[in-house]
Amino acid sequence: MTLINSPVQRETAIIYRRRPLVIVAHPRYLEIREKKRRDSVMIPYDQIYELALRKRFNAQQAEKKAAKKARRATIHAA
């Protein structure tokens, strides 16, 4: 894999408020902004990873809860 040593800017296919989003990958963080706008949001890679893990965990917990609820409904209906 290639290391990010200097900022790399890319336009995404995602449209937000009728403007494409632009990302700038820095060595330690990701910068996100709307195209032709100066205001940007910077977030470290470790926080992005933690957010993704948290979202996956919450989805798994919701699936387990739904399966448990479905099993209980089947048991009580019988």
| Predicted model pTM | 0.76
The per-residue pLDDT for 78 is: 60
pLDDT tier at 70, thresholds 50, 70, 90: confident
In 3D space, the residue among 56, 30, 54, 58 whose CA is nearest the CA of residue 44 turns out to be: 30
25: β partners = 8, 30
27-34 long-range contacts, CB within 8 A, separation 24+: 27/3, 31/7
Give the model confidence (pLDDT) of 10-32 as tens digits.
999 999 999 999 999 999 999 99
Give the model confidence (pLDDT) of 48-65 as tens digits.
999 999 999 999 999 999
Domain spans of the chain?
8-77
The per-residue pLDDT for 28 is: 96
16: β partners = 19
Give the model confidence (pLDDT) of 30-49 as tens digits.
999 999 999 999 999 999 99
